[in-house]
């Protein structure tokens, strides 16, 4: 609700701006530190704007072998999204369409899974994977674990999208001569595509930021994603903060761009279940 008096609106706006500034400060600090020289990083009082800005993108990229890290991150994220979309879409559809006590139980269990944090699950998963011999394919193992971890969120979001598709449309398709699976693919999926797309992008972004499973399951540096690679900067004695921030900036900027471009769709996709 917007207040009627103008000064109240300005006050609210000011509060909003301050809150946003606090929220975005770490992001700003990341970019600013990435541009500073190493000495300026430790200057006291700290400078809010770099005096001698220098771009270290190519140096950090080459020194750290970021190409391999980014590639691994993308492999893991893409693999996770593929698995999640493949398994989650059908599951979400089933949960949206069939109404019975058992479906409610299933939905409850799915929601419960979402509560379990990755760090809690990683030890049993590590033991299970090691016994199955999955640790010889560490990226596959990480994809499996991450997909299992992200699946509940995807299912819940996409289920909301499917409940918005009127059942009569599928029934019309059935009467028109389509099979159940045909009606699902040619009617329900296209109509829920916004929700599916947005949820898939969210899962992709989350999988890019995944750390716990990659850190635990992947020991070979050649297979590690960028989130794990970042910590090689932090040694016991010296820390190359400006290098870390450059690394982070390289990693985060594309994600930010995707998010900003799709921001409107993501927000509308997330609330589509709530409002008619």
Partner 1 sequence: MTLQIELAGIQKYYGGYHALRGIDIAIPKGQFVALVGPSGCGKSTLLRTIAGLETITSGAIRIKGEDITRQPPRLRDIAMVFQSYALYPHMTVEKNLTYSLRLKGVPKAEARRKAEEIAEITGLGQLLDRYPRELSGGQRQRVAMGRAIIRNPKAFLFDEPLSNLDAALRVHMRAEVRKLHNSLGATSVYVTHDQIEAMTMADHVVVMRAGVIEQQGAPLDLYDRPVNRFVAGFIGSPAMNFIDGIVTEAGDRVRLTLPGDPIVSFAGHRPAGEAVTVGLRPEHLNVVSETQTGNTLRLPVSLVEQTGSMTYVVTETEPMLTIAANMSRAILTAKSIDVQIDPGHVYLFDRTSEAALQSL
Q: Is 224 strand, coil or helix?
A: coil
Q: Say how far apart CA 48 and CA 32 lie, in whole Å.
A: 8
Nearer to partner 1, 185 or 256 (CB): 185
Site membership for partner 1, residue 174 (CB under 8 A): yes
Per CB under 8 A, the list member of 46, 65, 67, 190 interacting with partner 1 is: 190
Nearest 5 degrees, angle CA 200-CA 181-CA 201?
5
Piece in contact with partner 1 (CB under 8 A), picked from 60-68, 85-93, 128-136, 182-190: 182-190
Site membership for partner 1, residue 98 (CB under 8 A): no
Nearest 5 degrees, angle CA 141-CA 227-CA 231?
115
Piece in contact with partner 1 (CB under 8 A), picked from 72-80, 88-96, 123-131, 183-191: 183-191
Nearest 5 degrees, angle CA 220-CA 67-CA 81?
75
Piece in contact with partner 1 (CB under 8 A), picked from 46-54, 165-173, 209-217, 252-260: 165-173
Nearer to partner 1, 116 or 172 (CB): 172
Per CB under 8 A, the list member of 90, 182, 209, 273 interacting with partner 1 is: 182
Tokens matching residue 3: 């207040």
Alpha carbon of 3 to those of 14, 20, 43, 234: distances in Å?
14, 20, 45, 49
> Do residues 56 and 41 make contact, with C-beta atoms less than 8 angstroms apart?
no
Site membership for partner 1, residue 175 (CB under 8 A): yes
> Do residues 122 and 216 make contact, with C-beta atoms less than 8 angstroms apart?
yes
Helix ranges restricted to H, the chain = 6-35, 38-41, 57-64, 66-97, 101-115, 118-132, 138-163, 167-175, 180-183, 189-191, 193-208, 212-217, 226-229, 241-271
Nearer to partner 1, 51 or 276 (CB): 276
Per CB under 8 A, the list member of 45, 177, 235, 236 interacting with partner 1 is: 177
Site membership for partner 1, residue 164 (CB under 8 A): no
- Least Å distance, CB 250 to partner 1, is 39
Per CB under 8 A, the list member of 172, 222, 256, 260 interacting with partner 1 is: 172
Site membership for partner 1, residue 82 (CB under 8 A): no
Piece in contact with partner 1 (CB under 8 A), picked from 79-87, 147-155, 186-194, 200-208: 186-194
Under the rule (CB under 8 A), what is the footprint of partner 1?
Answer: 166, 168-169, 171-180, 182, 187, 190-191
């Amino acid at each position: 609700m917007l207040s009627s008096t103008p000064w109240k609106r300005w006050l609210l706006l000011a509060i909003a701006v301050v809150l946003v500034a606090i929220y975005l400060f770490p992001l700003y600090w990341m970019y600013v530190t990435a541009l500073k020289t190493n000495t300026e990083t430790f200057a006291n009082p700290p400078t809010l704007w770099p005096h001698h800005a220098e771009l270290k993108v190519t140096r950090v990229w080459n020194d750290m072998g970021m190409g391999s890290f980014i590639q691994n991150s993308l492999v893991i994220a893409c693999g996770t999204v593929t698995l999640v979309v493949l398994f989650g879409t059908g599951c979400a559809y089933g949960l949206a369409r069939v109404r019975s006590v058992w479906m409610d139980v299933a939905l409850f269990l799915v929601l419960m899974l979402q509560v379990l944090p990755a760090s809690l699950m990683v030890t049993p998963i590590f033991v299970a994977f090691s016994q199955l011999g999955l640790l010889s394919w560490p990226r596959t193992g990480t994809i499996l674990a991450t997909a299992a971890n992200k699946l509940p969120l995807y299912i819940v979001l996409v289920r909301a999208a499917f409940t918005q598709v009127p059942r009569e449309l599928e029934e019309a398709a059935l009467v028109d001569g389509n099979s159940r699976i045909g009606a699902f693919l040619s009617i329900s999926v296209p109509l829920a595509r916004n929700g599916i797309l947005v949820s898939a992008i969210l899962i992709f972004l989350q999988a890019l930021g995944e750390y716990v499973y990659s850190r635990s399951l992947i020991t070979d540096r050649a297979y590690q994603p960028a989130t794990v690679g970042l910590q090689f900067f932090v040694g016991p004695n010296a820390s190359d903060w400006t290098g870390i921030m450059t690394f982070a900036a390289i990693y985060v900027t594309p994600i930010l761009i995707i998010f900003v471009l799709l921001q409107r769709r993501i927000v509308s996709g997330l609330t589509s279940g709530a409002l008619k």
